[in-house]
Amino acid sequence: MVYHISLECIGDDGGVRGASGALAAMIFGKQPSRAWVAKVKYIRGKYIQREFVQGKKDYTNSNSVGSRGIYKHYFLDDGLYEISDPKSWKQTDRYFAYIEAGELWRVTKEEAELWLNDNSESMS
């Protein structure tokens, strides 16, 4: 079963549209998105091997400059993920979650590592 999650891309496209935005992007570079989902392959201490999942952007509720209201939709299969979900301009909720039977379960990094180790052993 597939799980659907939507993350707002706060500030993702804001400030890079139009001539002044193009100039700002040349000077400062395009900033990476704060909204992302990655499938976790391996965790050992601070090292996390992940594969980023492509999302589909939806501009339906976007404001005129694209700084708010843009959502990225992800459709996720069962497995362990790390999610970065911007909640405001200054706060981002970053967490681990595993998806099983179409349900998302939020877990700590330690629980994610244990879950990954348990499932990799059962797959061998």
pLDDT, position 28 = 55
- Retrieve residue 27's tokens: 């000077």
How far apart, in whole angstroms, are the C-alpha atoms of residue 100 and residue 123?
16
- pLDDT for the residue 22: 52
pLDDT of res. 1: 84
Averaged pLDDT in 10-residue chunks for the chain of 124 residues: 92 54 54 84 89 94 84 95 92 94 93 82 48
Residue with tokens 């994610």: 112
Helices first, then strands: H and E counts in the chain: 2, 8
Q: Would you state the pLDDT for residue 62?
A: 87
> Under a CB-based contact definition with an 8 Å cutoff, are residues 77 and 103 in contact?
no
Q: Please give the span between the terminal C-alpha atoms of the chain, in angstroms, as a whole number.
A: 23
pLDDT recorded at residue 67:
79
pLDDT at 17: 46
Q: What pLDDT is recorded for position 120?
A: 62
CA gap 1, 102 in Å, rounded:
5
Q: Which residues pair with 46 in a beta bridge?
A: none
pLDDT of amino acid 15 = 45
CA atoms within 13 A on the CB side of 14: 14
